[in-house]
Structure 1
Amino acid sequence: MSAPQRTAAPRGGRLMRLKGLVRKEFLQIVRDPSSIAIAFVMPIFLLVLFGYGVSLDADHVPVALVAEQPSADTADFLASLESSHYFAPMRALTLADAEEALREGKVRAIVRLRADFAERLRRPDGAPIQLIVNGVDANTARLTQGYVEGAWGNWLARRAASAGQAFAAPVELVQRIWYNPEVRSRNFLVPGLVAIIMTLIGTLLTALVMAREWERGTLEALLVTPASMSEVLLGKIVAYFVLGTGGMLLTVGLAVALFDVPLRGSFWLLWTCASLFLLAALGMGLAISTVARNQFVAGQIAIIGTFLPAFLLSGFIFDIDSMPAVVQGVTHIVVARYFVSIVQTLFLAGDVWAVVLPNALALLAMAAIFLGITWRKSRKRLE
């Protein structure tokens, strides 16, 4: 009977120490306003910023309209542009006035109808219109060109229908948009914010907190206690895992309730994949803390090594397939790349296992690698 008692006592002691360490971490989080701000205030700020202030859509594009010889035809076509929400038209008397407005940045494009527009419109070859676009912003320039071409085709079709004629287009394009039928960039950006926010909580916050404990001597005090380094690390992982989960739930809730982003996949699958990503982020933060014991250095490493790659190279904003081959290769070591792919798929397409499963396995491997590095590099010593 004595042998089981001797083996059970250490286990009970480890469990009590772990509970105490977790409680200590939660008390430290509650007493630290910066931790609460990063975990709960920062997600709200980023969601409002990207949900309302950042858009990849081109809407209400300022366009200068020039009709060299006003007529009923030019007035009808220009009125169709003015009634579209894609354009914010400005009438210009001459092409020189419109070009000056383009140089000054008052408009992004010029639509010019020549003096013989009405006459050539009734010829078999038709009447051309001139479109001049500011190409500094290539994305907006391409969208503006497409909008004008679409408006021109719609106007010709409506004009032919009103005359009782069939509009003979060389190609009839029938569009069907899957997964994001509203074509709202908000539906694409807001889900990706889950990865960015969890990177901040898991990596930046953990690295800063560990570095702060080294600076204040709190961690040195823990090293002289019976608690092992594995128990200290596990206590931090448990506490900040709960904190990161809270940030994830807040972000997902606001995305669905406030921004009307559809969640077509399983919430529990999203939570499982988010947990794997959070473990990898916590591993990165703890690994950084084993190298940098200064808050400034730890923060710089966390921002440059994790946050910026998650922002720029994860597919959150920029399409990975459009990047150079070398940069595409670098993205495979960015943990957020795999989670961004998962979260955008679960929100917009649903439970597509061909996408979710490989990326989830990659997250599991990343979590094992970073947590393994942290465990091997962390020793119960001061040097």
Structure 2
Amino acid sequence: MKLQRLRGLIRKEFIQIWRDPSAIAIAFFMPVFLLFLFGYGVSLDARHVPVAVVVDQPSAETSAFVSGLQQSTYFTPQVYGNVQAARRAVMEHRADGILWLRADFSRQVLQGNTASIGVLVNGEDANNARILQGYLQGVWQGWLQQRAASAGAALVVPVTGQDRIWFNPALRSRDYLVPGLIAVIMTLIGALLTAMVVAREWERGTMEALMASPVTMHEILLGKLIPYFFLGMGGMLLSVAMAVWLFAVPLVGSFWVLLLCSSLFLLAALGMGLLISSVAHNQFVAGQIAIIVTFLPAFILSGFIFDIQSMPAAIRLVTHIVAARYYVSILQTVFLAGDVWPVILWNSLALALMATFFLGVTLLRSHKRLD
């Protein structure tokens, strides 16, 4: 390997990147688009949920309860005259649930008996139904405590819980989703950049010229790897800057730890892209393979949105060969919890092994021949 030839190949790649808007779009414009799309468009928080409220016999007690519901940021109550109208609202997706205060509600409350409320929740979306049920239970408990305090009596509850939420006390799903989204973006950037660019070389015939030159395969691969590594790291820095300054996601851990772990993951992603380019010499085919083999597993099997521990055992086993799984764990830990070294070291070791594997297999498969 000659350093002068390697410098020439790297310079050639940087000139090609500058002249090729698609590589710059993949590295910089795609992260901005995906972060805006998922950061603002995807949320696991339930806010302003439309709820149908039915009060059979209005009274001071029912008015106080409905008033507490209206003051909550989680609900947008819609009053209906009867349960049948509320059911139609749920069936027509104008409401996600029904809160039914029956005719004997006030009488039971005033007599000191156990008053019950009817809660009917649309279960088509099971996750949203559980969230809505929990929020309604919280409003009910809050109303009971407020009523007991106004009467000068203590609310007798057999067991009271003292909740303390670690790492994400505001319970913002954006703080959880945006770091994971960076892993998905980095996967797509690394795989697409190298897979499609090398395939473009084959399509244009410039790869044949490289094969006929004195350069070695080590120099060709490094000449491809180094420029796109810096380009991918630029996309990563842009994503982190948007996460911290635009979406207000806290970065509790060390930035340098994040940078080092991102470098390991990007090497693994670039290695996957180079391996794809050694199989597919067509841009369209290389792009499709990159999306199917890297983006979809990173989106579904990395823990970015779907909890890995809730998956079947066979699928959990498959997630161990998805590099994004380890990077998502590092990102969410560094952003929200800090430098938790047992998590960072083991996942970084897995990323280093995967980067070595993909780059090693690519080198073994790459030869200076045109077949």
Which bin holds the TM-score, normalised by the shorter protein? over 0.9
Q: 2:181: which partner in 1?
A: 193
Q: 1:117: which partner in 2?
A: 105
2:308 maps to 1:308: no
**Helix, strand or coil: the match of 2:78?**
strand
Q: Aligned partners of 2:24 and 2:198: how far apart in 1?
A: 16
Q: 1:230: which partner in 2?
A: 218
Q: Aligned partners of 1:218 and 1:282: how far apart in 2?
A: 21
**Helix, strand or coil: the match of 1:178?**
coil
2:121 maps to 1:133: yes
Q: 1:174: which partner in 2?
A: 162
**Helix, strand or coil: the match of 1:260?**
coil
Amino acid at match of 2:183: A
- Please list, as runs of the form range in 1=range in 2, the aligned pairs for 1:93-108 lying within 5 A after superposition: 93-108=81-96
- Please list, as runs of the form range in 1=range in 2, the aligned pairs for 1:72-87 lying within 5 A after superposition: 72-87=60-75
Partner residue of 1:266 out of 244, 247, 254: 254
Shift of 1:49: 1.1
Please list the CA deviations of residues 321-368 of structure 1 after superposition, one character each: whole Å capped at 9, or x if unmatched.
011111000000001000000011000000001100000000000000
Shift of 1:123: 3.5
Q: 1:342: which partner in 2?
A: 330
Amino acid at match of 2:358: F
Q: 1:31: which partner in 2?
A: 19
Shift of 1:125: 3.5
Q: 1:5: which partner in 2?
A: none
2:113 maps to 1:153: no
| Percent of aligned pairs sharing the same letter | 63
Please list the CA deviations of residues 128-156 of structure 1 after superposition, one character each: whole Å capped at 9, or x if unmatched.
00000000111110010000000000001
Partner residue of 1:215 out of 168, 193, 203: 203
Q: Aligned partners of 2:76 and 2:18: how far apart in 1?
A: 50
Partner residue of 2:150 out of 139, 162, 165: 162
**Helix, strand or coil: the match of 1:177?**
coil
Partner residue of 2:192 out of 201, 204, 229: 204
**Helix, strand or coil: the match of 1:279?**
helix
2:38 maps to 1:50: yes
**Helix, strand or coil: the match of 1:66?**
strand
Shift of 1:33: 1.1
Q: 1:4: which partner in 2?
A: none
TM-score under structure 2 normalisation?
A: 0.99
Partner residue of 2:235 out of 239, 247, 254: 247
Q: 2:287: which partner in 1?
A: 299
- Please list, as runs of the form range in 1=range in 2, the aligned pairs for 1:12-23 lying within 5 A after superposition: 14-23=2-11
Amino acid at match of 2:332: Q
Shift of 1:169: 1.5
Amino acid at match of 2:8: G
Shift of 1:124: 4.1
Q: Aligned partners of 1:336 and 1:26: how far apart in 2?
A: 27
Gaps of 5+ in 2: none
TM-score under structure 1 normalisation?
A: 0.96
Amino acid at match of 2:152: G
Q: Aligned partners of 2:26 and 2:59: how far apart in 1?
A: 60
Please list the CA deviations of residues 254-274 of structure 1 after superposition, one character each: whole Å capped at 9, or x if unmatched.
111111101111111111100
Q: Aligned partners of 2:311 and 2:112: how far apart in 1?
A: 44
Amino acid at match of 1:89: P
Q: 2:244: which partner in 1?
A: 256
Amino acid at match of 1:276: L
Partner residue of 1:359 out of 347, 350, 365: 347
Q: Aligned partners of 1:85 and 1:198: how far apart in 2?
A: 35
Amino acid at match of 1:200: L
Q: Aligned partners of 1:220 and 1:317: how far apart in 2?
A: 43
Partner residue of 2:28 out of 40, 51, 54: 40
Residues matched between the structures, number:
371
